[in-house]
Structure 1
Amino acid sequence: MLALLGRRGLGELPLTEGARRLVEEFERRILDRQTPDYRKNIHTLTILVHWLGAENAILERDVHDLASCSATLAAKPVCQFLRSHGLLIDDPDRRQDVNLAWIQAAISARPDPLASEVRAWVTLLRSRGRREGEVRDYRSVRRYLAHIEPVLTAWTAVGVTTLREITTDHIEAAVADLSGRDRQKVAVSLRSLFKAIKRERMVFRDPTRHLSVGDLRRYRSLCPAISWSDCWTRPRSRSAVWSSLWWPSTRCPVRSFVPS
């Protein structure tokens, strides 16, 4: 049907009054009427409103299917015009989020069952927006995945095919050379990943359970060397003991010290 209509001239396509007004408005919007594209656009819209009418919304898929029937037809400007009038039903397959496409490609590059485990995490992230009942946008989900993409690549390169194989040593090695914000991003994403798949019972243990988000090595380098036994064996007042556990310029917490 579409192919037959595509071969018919404008004079062979009678229009209703509403359809004719719509085509005339489209003509007025197109400034350069001497180009071949002008005729393509008018011809395409004329066929559509002759076939489907001007009262009901038209599927975007139908516009592109029609344009594919002949080189004398065009789709994009017609879709834009119909959308501006609320007369186009968008095709979700043509509106795929670029971030979703990146996520799908990144997951597909992983072997199973690791790919399935990461996909389950992404699904859970997607379902948890900032407010109850909201979904998280794919841009945010992509950021989480991008933070650990190099880690997943490194694990895959050494033969890891499932996150069940990952141990605490793997996790520590993944963040060993990182510091500051870079370490924090990777640590947060890894903890989120393993917490999610443990909840889904895809792994039995969480190797990130004791992974700190901050970089404690930085605090240790700034704090004075002191041991717990040294604090409590010296005959000092309680306030003096607590003062010795804090570095005034950095306000380093007690938990950053390692007992001797």
Structure 2
Amino acid sequence: MHPDVSECERCRRCRPLKQGKCRFCTLLLRETEVDVSGIALDGGDQLWFGRELALRKSDRYLSGTGAQGRFKAKERRGRAASRAMRPISPHLVDPEQLELFPTPPRDWGRLNPENEFALTPAAKVLLRDFSDYLRDLGVEPRVGGSASLRTLRVLTAQLGAEAPIREGDVKAIATLGDHYQGRRVVCFLRQRGILKPEPMRDAELIRARRVAASLPTPFAEAVDLWIDVLLGQGTRSNPALTSGTIYSYVQNAHPTLKSWAESGITDLREITKKDVEAAIMDLPSVRRHSVHPPLRSLFRALRRERKIFRDPARSVSLPVAVKLPTPLPSDGVRGILSKVEDVRSQFIVALVAVHALVHDDLPALLLEDLDRSRGQLRVRRRGRLDHVVYLDELTSELATSWLRERYRRWPRTGNPHLLVSRVSAADEAGPRMSTEVTKTVFERVGISARKLRGDRIYDEARHTADPVHLMRLFGLGTTTAMKYITAAHPDKRPDPIRA
């Protein structure tokens, strides 16, 4: 008897076993695992011929590792048959059904990919159009676009393609894992006009409101009114600040307001100049200049809205140490363009190192602002006159090379900005490129954009003592231009008596 002969756990016959089953049972289970031929019986086995007509198959097909063979073909036919038998989703959205009340967010975390529903004819057409859309973007649907295609397939299988799809549902599915993506789906649905966008939410503004709500009621109401004023929504119109600045102001003023509330003060009208001075001077020196401007802004806003009688922080001032700019070492600046390889990074570095553009100006540059025939670049700055940059030969060549690279990589993008990334180029809304992209460029260079810009202005100031020249060349203000002139030419300090 064969040494490995044992009792089969299925047919109970003593045979050589593989994984607890004899050869006949293994073949039989493989034959009836995907029963596309209808040969499996309930409560018994199909009768088979023996000897020469018995089931025979080589071990490489039994192992299940081969990509070809009769069993693999049966598995493919079985999967196709199961997909054809899938029912239509009972959750299809009727486009003519009116909404009685706002529907709550759907819970996509309970989604089971194995229980997918069949696609409607409209959904199949939408998926084909989305595949063509991905190919136009230079993305192969089954490779780079498989995650986006899977997201749209789940949405259309569950909800259909007849009614608009909510942007919140797309983003919710995209958070389920790395095999789901939603950005290209949102852009495609928006382009087709079947996207229901979600309300714009400013995360930093929401955080500022949350910080204000954590204060006692009188203080919370005052801070909420302050935020409205900073947003330009007060009784008198004023330019609105960015949400990041507003959140920074509220966050820096919060500890001081909380300490006043804990000390027994119930209203900001009780605050005096001595209270403001004591609150600021008790802070470390590095924190004083970050708390002083928010407190001045808070009381100025409350005084303008007639919530307090006087501004206790109006006459409170702090000494400011003016730091003169210093040049960078020449060995650190030498060969700076060779530290980055791609054209976009070299163009970004040249705009800062040669023309001293501010780091925040780079994502806002528009395609229409670049005039290559005249060698000019228009820089739009909020609340100030536009600054015109006259490009040198190197920067002009890099700009031309970048436009060619941009058209080669994203020929169908409609983003109006000069600098785009992989994410912003795919968004049909035309957003700005993230500043993280430019930060990464200067991290590879090893020098921050602020220091590189300051070194360029300082180098120009060394060759001229005329502040008007710096103002015209780099779009500087009077104070900034004089600061660089003073640093480069200490003997040119203005006479304090005549000034």
1:15 corresponds, among 122, 126, 148, to 122
Q: Return closer, same or farther for 1:21/1:136 CA change in 2, 3 Å cut-off.
A: same
* Counterpart in the other structure of 2:205: 100
Counterparts of 1:1-260 in structure 2, within 5 Å, are: 4-5=91-92, 9-11=117-119, 13-15=120-122, 19=126, 21-25=128-132, 30-31=141-142, 39=150, 41-45=152-156, 50-52=161-163, 58-61=165-168, 76=182, 78-79=185-186, 81-83=188-190, 87-92=194-199, 95-127=200-232, 134-178=239-283, 182-212=287-317, 214-215=318-319
Number of aligned residues: 208
Alpha-carbon offset, residue 135 of structure 1? 2.8
- TM-superposed deviation, 1:194: 0.8
1:177 shift after superposition: 3.3
The alpha-carbon distance between structure 1 residues 215 and 39, as it changes in their structure 2 partners (threshold 3 A), is: closer
Gaps of 5+ in 2: 1-88, 93-110, 174-179, 322-492
Percent of counterpart pairs with the same letter? 29
Larger Rg: 2
CA contact (8 A) 1:194 1:208 kept: yes
Q: Output the CA distance in 2 between the equivalents of 1:182 and 1:4.
A: 56
Q: 1:157 to 1:85 in 2, by over 3 A?
A: farther
TM-score in terms of structure 2 length: 0.34
Deviation at 1:27, TM superposition (A): 8.0
Alpha-carbon offset, residue 25 of structure 1: 3.4
CA RMSD of aligned residues (A): 4.4
1:243 is matched with none
Change in Cα spacing, 1:206 to 1:14, as seen in structure 2 (3 Å) is: same
Task: Return closer, same or farther for 1:133/1:82 CA change in 2, 3 Å cut-off.
Answer: farther
Q: CA deviation at 1:104?
A: 1.3
**Which residue type is aligned with residue 43 of structure 1?**
V
Displacement after TM superposition at 1:150 (Å): 1.8
Q: Quote the offset at 1:167 in angstroms.
A: 1.8
Q: What displacement does 1:36 show?
A: 9.5
Per-residue CA deviation, residues 34-65 of structure 1 (Å, 9 max, x unaligned), is x999655313135656322xxxx644246579
How much does 1:157 deviate?
2.2
Displacement, 1:123?
0.8
Compute the displacement of 1:120 (Å).
0.6
- Offset, 1:163: 0.9
Cross-structure match for 1:257: none
Deviation by residue 1:165-214 (Cα, 9 ceiling, x = unmatched): 212221111111357664333222211111111221212222113212x2
Change (3 A) 1:189 1:3: farther
Distance 1:178 1:79, change over 3 A: same
Letter in 1 for 2:298: L
- Measured in 2, the distance between the counterparts of 1:3 and 1:105 equals 40
Please say if residues 198 and 206 of structure 1, whose CA atoms lie closer than 8 Å, have aligned partners that are also in contact.
yes
SS class of match (2:91): helix
TM-score by length of 1: 0.60
Q: Displacement of 1:112 after TM fit?
A: 0.9
Contact 2:256-2:279 at 8 Å conserved across structures = yes
* CA–CA distance in structure 2, aligned partners of residues 176 and 17 of structure 1: 68
Matched letter for residue 91 of structure 2: L
Higher-helix-fraction structure:
1
